[in-house]
Structures are given as C-alpha cells and as structure tokens.
Structure 1
Amino acid sequence: MNSRNRKHLVVLLLLLVCTCRTDAFFRTFKDWYDKLTPSNEECNEDWISFDGRGVGKGLEADLGRNLFGQHIASDVILNAMTGFMNNDNPKKSLVLSFHGRSGTGKSLASQLIVKNIFKKGMDSRFVHFFNSIINFPHASQVETYKSQLQHWIRGNVTNCAHSVFIFDEMDKMHPGIIDGIKPFMDYHYKLDGVSYQKAIFLFLSNGGGEIIRESTLVSWKAGKKREELKLEDLETALSSFAFDYYGESNVVDFFIPFLPLEHQHIVQCIMVGMVAMGLQPDHNKACKMADNIVNYIPDDERRISIPGCKKVASRLRHFKQSNKEVPQPAG
C-alpha cells in the first residue's frame, strides 16, 4: 500500500470514528488500522513464543526485576502462565483476575506477561486492550457493546488462537457485558466451530483493594512478616467479593491479590524509573522522593503507601524537564 492510499485510509477511518460513535468507543484506531492494513506479524512461532519453559524463565526474571512487593502475585502468575503454556491441549482459556488498589502493579504485570509471549509485546495485533470506562461508557448501549465484543473476540481468536484480551477497570464494567463474554472463558470445546481454549483473558480491577489493604495491615499489626501472607489468606475474601462481577460461574482460574506497597517498594520503583528516563540512579534522592510524593498509613507509622507507584513516572519527568533537585520532605 503506497503512502497516498495510506493517507486515504486514515481519512476513511477518521470518518468512521466520527460517524459511528459506538464503534469509536469499541475499537481503537490502532485496531482499525491493523485490521485493514497488511502486517508482517503472523500467528506463528516467529512472532509468538509457544515454549512454556522459555516464557516462564523470561517472565520470572521480569517479575523479579520489575514487580516490587508482590510475592503472591508473582508466584501465582508465574505458575499459572507456565502451566498453561506447557499444556498443548488446555481444557479452557486462561482467566486471571487481578485485584488491588491503583499503583500496585496490575497493569505492569499484564504487560510483562504479554512481553514474554509476543515479540511485539503490547503492540502485537494479537493483544487486545479494553478500558471499561472508555470503551463501554453508556449503560444504555450494553447490548450493542456486548454484541460487538463477542464478534470482536470470535473474529480475533479465529485469526489467532493465542490471542490475549485485557480488560482494565473491570470493576466498572456493566454485568451484562461480562455475561456476554463468559462463554468464551468456560469449558467448551468449541463455540460455533471456534475453540477458545488457548486464549488468555486478564481482568484488572481496583475492586477488593480495601479488603487486601486491611488484611495486610492486620497481618502486620499481628507481627507477621509481609512475605508470610499467602494466596489462601486473601483468595476466599476476594472470590466472595468478585461474585458480584462474575456470578456463580467458575470461569476465573485465579483471583490474584496485589498487596499495598511500602516505602521500600516506592524507592525501588523510583530507582527503576530513574534508569528508564536516563537519570543517574541515586538511592538517597529516591528515598527523599518517596517521602515527599507519597502519603502513607497509619499516620504514626507511615507503613503503607496510599497511591503506590502511581505518581513516580510523572514526578520523575517533571524533575528531569525542570532539571530540579529532588525536594526535601516537609518537616
């Protein structure tokens, strides 16, 4: 396709976005462009890793280097992914539900999973990202969203059985939409001639964040080390909480808690961010920034971070652009 035709295609796509408001919420511009233009990415081993051992090895290293303070999530994700990828004939698609407050690493974990499967990572045309607020904003159009989403999943899994679907802000998704995609995640050999058993569904939710935070605080006050918390300590509460979203269906393989972060984890996030932005990593400055930009609870102990690592990237960009020193913490 020459440059002139590409320009015409872009204009056509913009017109479609303007005239088909529902589709504008449903399909991103990237998805339209990738669907209608040729791509050298194929659904084969040149572009997708089918080696469960290789995926597990890379994922384990990435989780260890980048996902701080989440020993439960790291262990469950690694075991779930390696088990699924090593199974040549899974009985159902893999469905993971991530729960925790904003800034604890849910999005990062999903990106690391994708990175270790697809050569193009999140830019792969076989990875599909949805934000419930942006893509499904109007309750009055639930049936339309539901129909379009079913069509989208069916078409893309037909195109590549190893497709990944990520749903952010899942706790804000209308139950009717969730009901519409449950069949793709359940124990069905085929639906309308299509098998979904090798697809992966990742749900990211702030729901359950308070339960996880309170459980972490109670454990800490009881004198237990953070690392002593286990999935079993939180999974029952989370699964009960998630019943409101998924109902009685057993489509979710694991409800994975993301614990609230502590001061040491914020410092780690800042150090990694410094390297990523080309700044000289400085532990003392990172500690000062962690004190300055993050609120902690309880007030007298400053134990748990409220926003997690959410503010780190924007603050580092600000300091880099303004060439300022990291400010001293108040008091």
Structure 2
Amino acid sequence: MSDQDSSTSASQTEGEFEGETEGEGERDEKQSDGLAPSLSNFSSSLRAVIRIKQKYQALKKRRQELTLGLGGAGTYTGAPARTSPKIFTFDGLTPSTFPAMSSSIPQRKKKRRKKRVLFPNGGGRRAPPKQEHSRAKYCLYLLFAIVFLQVYNAIENLDDHVLRYDLEGLEKTLRREVFGQQGAVEGLLSHLKDYLSTYVHNKPLVVSLHGPSGVGKSHLGRLLAGHFRSVVGETLVLQYYVLHHCPQEADALQCAHDLSTLISEMVERAEEEEKIPLFIFDEAEHMHNEILDALWQLVASKQSNEYLNAIYLFLSNLGHEHITKHMLHNSSSISMAMTASGRHSNLVKELTPILHNTLEKLHPLWTEADILPLGLLEKGHVMDCFLDEMTREGFYPDHANIERLAGEIEYYPAVGGHEYSQTGCKQVVAKVNLL
C-alpha cells in the first residue's frame, strides 16, 4: 500500500506542477503582453533581451518553488531529511535532464557573416582594382636596346679604326727587324694602340725616343714611316731630317715657318680623309730653337681638332750619357732570367725622371712628350745585325764570319755577364760593304 500511495502522490505532484507551469506561462504571457505596449518604442534587439531575461527569472522562480514543495509535502519513506533547500543553477543541467524543455526551445544556427570590403566612396562592394602595366616600361626597354646598340656600334667602330692602321703587322715587323729593343718596341706599340683606338683626342700623341748612337733609333723611324705610308698614304707621313732640310742656322726662322705651313696642310688633308698623320723628326738634337718653338706651339696650344689628331715622333741621342752610365753601373744587378720587357720597364722607371729634368732645361717642348729610352746593344744583338745585313746583301750567312766581324766592334768592359757595344750596329753596314 505504501508503494501505491507514493505513486499516487507523485502523479498528483506532477499534475500540480504541470498546472502551475501552464498557469505561470499564461501569467507570463499576460505580463509580457502588458509590457509590450510600453516597450514598443525600443528597438527589437532591446525587447528581445528583456523578454529573455523575464523568461529566465520566471523559470528560476518555478524551479525554486518546485524544489521547496517536493521537500515539504512529498517526502519518501526512508529518505534522509533535507537540512537546507537547494538553490537552482544552470551548472548541473544538461539537455538530457529536461528533454521536453530542450525540445520545446528552438535552437538558432549561427550564420557566418562574410567579410565585406568597404570603400570610402559610395560604401558599396566593388571589385578590387586591377594592376595595370605601365606603358613607360616598354619605353624603358626600348631605351636600353638603343644604348646597347650604340655602345656595340662604338666598339665595332673602334676596332675598325685600329684595324685600318694594321698595328699587328707593324708589331711583327718591328719585332723581326729591331734587335735588342723589345721593351721599347712594346712601349711604343702600347702608345700607338691607345691613341689610334679612337679618332677624337684632346691632345696629339708626342713620343720621344732617346738612346746612344747605333741602338736603332733611325732604323725604327724608317720602319714606322714605311708602314704608315702603306696604310694612310704618302702625303700624310713626314720624315724631317734637320741636317738635310735646314742645315744652316741662319735659315732657322724660315725653316720653322715652312715647317709650320707644311704641317698645317697635312693635318687639314688628314682631317678631310679622317686619318691621323705621322711626323717623324730624326736627329732632333740638331734642331734649332726656332723650329722647336714652332713645334711647341703646334703641340701645346689648344687649336682646332685637326691639330689634335696627329702623331709626333722625335728621335735623338739627348741624355745618352745617363742611359749608358745607368746600364753599365746596374748590369750586375740585372738578373739574366729577366725578360726584355722587364729590363726595359726598370730602365724607364729609373731613367724617365732624370731624362725629363735634363730635357726640360733644353726646351719646354719635351714637357709634352712621353720619354722612351733605348738601351745599349749587347754582342749577340750586333751579331743579329750582321746576319740581317748580310742576308739583305746576298752574302752567305757564315756563323764564323759573322762572329769575326762582330769581334771587330769596340765594346765596353764586360759587366755582370753583359758585353755592350760602344757604337751599337752603326758600323755593321760599312763592314758588310767591304766584303
């Protein structure tokens, strides 16, 4: 009977709970209806918040009353007495605890709002701006192409200008026919290559070759004159021998005037033909001051372009005492394994300041010139001169005969294994003619 009574009381309790719930729901609806007119001026979001809060407070109140009613009237037999009422919270509640309530409350799915790109003008959604390629980029590419073609064309023109003078052929000729002066030949060719690589210059090329008698200065000048006559023409090459063209000092002023007129005509003709003339002055140590003054005005003064595109070559034995003294005193320190260019570079480095100081005291023309000293010739070089001259004259090149002829030449005392000739190859032609 007790079980039946407990079940009956439980059913009654449930009925009362449902009745109370319905009653309270009607009261809540009436209250919310009553409040609705008063809250009509608020926004919809504010009204929704107030409604949710009211429902939450009503539900909390009903749970508290239900808990107190069950604890006071409907206690089960053998159940422990409650000492204090339990306060309702949402901490321990799960959807499975109140299935009817969880099913009655609809759950809204949260929608992910897409981010909108807003722009200042208009506020609407616009497509992102497309990256447009600037047309100036193509102009820049075209400019690069034009500059490249111009540089390439300029390089090709430089090569064509150098090839016109056939400096490779000149180098082969000088190395084959000039003995004992390979370092000086390399220095002279270096000056010519640098100058002839372009047609526009800010000053003429002035080179002065100095050395003792018989070392090959005049021979080198004849080889250069012959080569340039073959490439630029006979009219653009001048070989000026002072003792031949102006032997009398009284005629020096007239000779200077005539020389200036001749050089002016040649440079004007060379300008018309777009070529560079060559002026060779042999035995420059015998040149009069009037002639040196005239040449200095042509070389040093800033005249028109045709006077700047010219090559002046001076051949003299000025300063030969310094060259001879230097080679005799320093031959013991020169290594036998050193090349000819290495020996000449040392010779130029040590003698150029001395020669400049000596020549500048004679005339200011030498301040505008590049100095190239020619060294003394050894016995082996003299034998090469005899061999070349005998071959030209048609003699059989007997080595014993050549050594005998070379022994008749006067030499300085041997120093450091070097035996230098006092007259170089100057007596070679005369001795071969006696054969």
TM-score range for the pair, normalised by the shorter chain length: 0.7 to 0.9
C-alpha distance after superposition, 1:197-240 (max 9, x if no partner): 22211111011111111111111133544733422122111111
% identity of equivalent residues: 26
For 1:88, what is the secondary structure of its paired residue?
coil
Please tell me whether the aligned partners of residues 165 and 228 of structure 2 are also in contact (alpha carbons under 8 angstroms). no
Matching residue of 2:354: 237
One-letter code aligned to 2:235: R
Deviation at 1:135, TM superposition (A): 2.1
Q: In 2 relative to 1, CA 248–124 (structure 1 residues): closer, same or farther, beyond 3 Å? A: closer
Aligned partner of 1:216 in structure 2 is 327
* Residue 239 of structure 2 is aligned to residue 152 of structure 1: no
Offset at residue 124 of structure 1 (A): 2.2
SS in 2 for 1:167: strand
Residue 250 of structure 2: aligned partner: 140
Which amino acid in the other structure matches residue 190 of structure 2? N
Unmatched 5+ residue regions in structure 1? 1-48, 320-331
Q: Is the 8 A contact 1:127 1:163 kept in 2?
A: yes
Q: Secondary structure of the residue that 1:119 maps to in structure 2?
A: helix
Instruction: Give the counterpart of 1:117 among 213, 228, 236.
Output: 228
Structure 2 residue aligned with 1:179: 293
Take 1:53 and 1:148, find their aligned partners in 2: how far apart are those partners? 30
Greater relative contact order (CA < 8 Å, ≥ 6 in sequence)? 1
Instruction: Confirm or deny: 8 A CA contact 2:184 2:344 kept in the other structure.
Output: no
Equivalent residue, structure 2, for 1:81? 192
Is the 8 Å Cα contact of residues 242 and 284 (structure 2) preserved in structure 1? yes
**1:295 equivalent in structure 2:** 410
- The two structures, once aligned, show a CA RMSD in angstroms of 2.5
Alignment deviations for residues 96-117 of structure 1 (CA, whole Å, 9 cap, x no partner): 1111112111112122223333
Judge conservation of contact 2:180–2:381 (CA < 8 Å) in 1: yes
SS class of match (2:315): strand
Establish whether residue 90 from structure 1 lines up as the match of residue 207 from structure 2: no
Q: Which runs of 4+ in 1 moved over 6 A?
A: 299-302
Structure 1's 246 and 117: CA in aligned 2 closer, same or farther, altered over 3 A?
same
Q: How does 1:2-13 map to 2 (within 5 A)?
A: none
Partner Cα distance (1:311, 1:110) in 2: 18
The count of residues paired between Structure 1 and Structure 2 equals 265
CA contact (8 A) 1:171 1:245 kept: no
Q: Is the 8 A contact 2:296 2:365 kept in 1?
A: no
Report the TM-score, using the length of structure 2 for normalisation: 0.56
Alpha-carbon displacement from aligned partner over 1:12-64 (angstroms, at most 9, x marks no partner):
xxxxxxxxxxxxxxxxxxxxxxxxxxxxxxxxxxxxx9535863211221121
- For residues 214 and 199 of structure 1, the distance between their equivalents in structure 2, rounded to whole angstroms, comes to 34
Q: Is the Cα–Cα contact under 8 Å of residues 239 and 279 in structure 2 kept in the other structure?
A: yes
Equivalent position SS for 2:407: helix
Mapped contact 1:92–1:187 kept (Cα < 8 A): no
Q: Quickly say closer, same or farther: Cα 1:116–1:296, change in 2 above 3 A.
A: same
Residues 150-202 of structure 1 show CA distances to partners (whole Å, capped at 9, x for unaligned) of 11111122222422221111112122211111122236251xxx612222111
Do the aligned residues in 1 keep the contact of 2:249 with 2:288 (CA within 8 Å)?
yes
CA contact (8 A) 2:178 2:220 kept: yes
* Structure 2: distance between partners of 1:215 and 1:312: 25
TM-score using structure 1 length: 0.73
| Distance of 2:335 and 2:434 partners within structure 1 | 38
Take 2:162 and 2:385, find their aligned partners in 1: how far apart are those partners? 30
SS in 1 for 2:312: strand
CA shift, 1:291, in A, is: 0.4
Partner-residue secondary structure (3-state), 1:281: coil
Counterpart of 1:314? 430
How many Å separate the matches in 2 of 1:249 and 1:270? 34
Q: CA, structure 1 residues 86+213, in 2 after alignment: closer, same or farther (shift >3 Å)?
A: same
Structure 1 pair 152–245 and aligned structure 2 pair: CA distance change class (3 A):
farther
Q: 2:388 aligns with which of 239, 254, 272?
A: 272
Relative to its length, the structure with more helix (as a share) is 2
2:373 matched residue in structure 1: 257
Q: 1:223 to 1:198 in 2, by over 3 A?
A: closer
- Cα distance 1:237–1:112, how it changes in 2: closer, same or farther (>3 A)? same
